[in-house]
Structure 1
Amino acid sequence: MDAAWACAVDRAAGVADSTRRFFLSFRRPPPPQPGPNPTDILKRLQRQAFYDIMQLRDRQEKVEKVLTLFKSHKIGPFAEESTQVKGLVNFAGALALNSKEGTELDNSEANSGISSQFAFRTSVRKKDSLLAELATDSRYFYQENDLMGSPLVLSKVMYLAIVGDDISVAAVPVGARCDDFSTDPSIQEGQWVPNFHSSLRPPLLLKRHRRAAGLILKSQNFAASLAELISTAAKSNGEASSVFTGFGQISCKMCDDIKLTMSAAWHGPSAIPRKSKPTAGGCVDLELKFDEDSRVGAWVEVKRSNPRQLKWAVTLSDTPENDLGWGVSLRRGSEGVPERIQLEGFLNIHLGQNATLQPGVMFNLDGRRCAPAVVFRSSWFL
Structure 2
Amino acid sequence: MAENADGTEKSEDASEKKLREAREKGQIPRSKELTTLLMTLGAAVFLLFYGYVMWQQFEAIAIKGFSFDRAHAFDFQMMTNLIIGMTIETLWMIFPFLALMVIIAIISPTLLGGWNFSTQAMAPKLSKLNPISGIARMFSVNALMELIKALAKFLLVGGVAVLFLWLSYGEIISIGKEALKPAMAHAATLIVEAFIFVSLSLLIVALIDVPYQVIHHMNQLKMTKQEVKEEYKQQEGNPEVKGRIRALQREMSQRRMMQAVPQADVVITNPTHFAVALKYNPDEMPEPMVLAIGSDFMAAQIRTLAKEHNITIVEAPPLARALYYNAEVDRPIPYDLFKAVAAVLAYVYQLRDGKSAKPVDFANLPIPEEMKTDAPT
Relative to the length of structure 2, the TM-score reads 0.23
> Relative contact order, CA 8 A, sep 6+: which one is greater?
2
Relative to the length of structure 1, the TM-score reads 0.22
Richer in helix (by share): 2
Richer in strand (by share): 1
